[in-house]
Each structure stands twice: as structure tokens, then as C-alpha cells.
Amino acid sequence: ALMITDECINCDVCEPECPNEAIYPGDEIYEIDPNLCTECVGHYDEPQCQQVCPVDCIPLDPDHKETREQLMTKYEALMAAK
Ligand code: SF4
Ligand code: SF4
């Protein structure tokens, strides 16, 4: 999963771009639910939130490192639950 750092300026550009609805406004900055973020695997070649963030504050979450296979498994589980 990716994460949003405290450099976030709450511009709201990323939230509608997420195909998994993993991004939401937190108490102070936007946040990513690691259970929903597939790093856009299954949907796009590149993480869409990273592409649009004007301050480049969406790195990989070191606490939620996943392989491409794990991300694809998550994607499939999310799709099956829809
Ligand atoms: Fe959503 Fe993709 Fe960003 Fe994860 S990487 S939060 S799935 S837009
Ligand atoms: Fe924050 Fe970047 Fe999302 Fe804007 S695009 S809300 S700065 S994480």
C-alpha cells in the first residue's frame, strides 16, 4: 500500500482518482486505507494518486510492503466483494 505524508496540503485531487476508494479525508490530512490500496494493481500501470499529487507526498508505506502477487490477490478479493 501507499501512504500519505504530513506534507499533504488537503487539495482533494487524489481522492476521486482512486479506483478502490482507499483515500479519505482524515482528521488533519488525507489518508489511505492500506486494506483497500492495491497500489493500483489490477486497474492501472501506475498509482493514480501519485500521478496527480501536486506535492508528491504519497510514498510506499514501509509498514505495508506487498509483492505484486499480494496486491493482485487483494485486488481480486476487493472485486469479489463488490
Ligand atoms: Fe488508490 Fe491506487 Fe493510490 Fe492506492 S495507489 S491509494 S489504490 S490511487
Ligand atoms: Fe494530499 Fe496529495 Fe492527495 Fe492533495 S493529492 S490531498 S496533497 S495527498
What digits encode the pLDDT tens for the residues 49-68?
999 999 999 999 999 999 99
Q: Are 10 and 54 in contact (CB under 8 A)?
A: no
pLDDT of 37 reads: 98
Which positions ≥6 away from 53 have C-beta within 8 Å? 13, 14
* Per CATH, domain 15-81 is 2.30.30.100: no
- Is the minimum distance from the CB of 18 to ligand 2 under 6 angstroms? no
Whole-number pLDDT of residue 35: 98
4 lines ligand 1 (CB under 6 A): no
pLDDT digits (tens, 9 = 90+) for 9-28: 999 999 999 999 999 999 99
Ligand 1 pocket: which of 38, 41, 52, 70 to mutate (most atoms <8 Å of CB)?
38
Rounded average pLDDT over 24-34: 98
Q: Which residues contact 16 (CB under 8 A, 6 or more apart)?
A: none
What local confidence, expressed as pLDDT, does residue 82 receive?
84
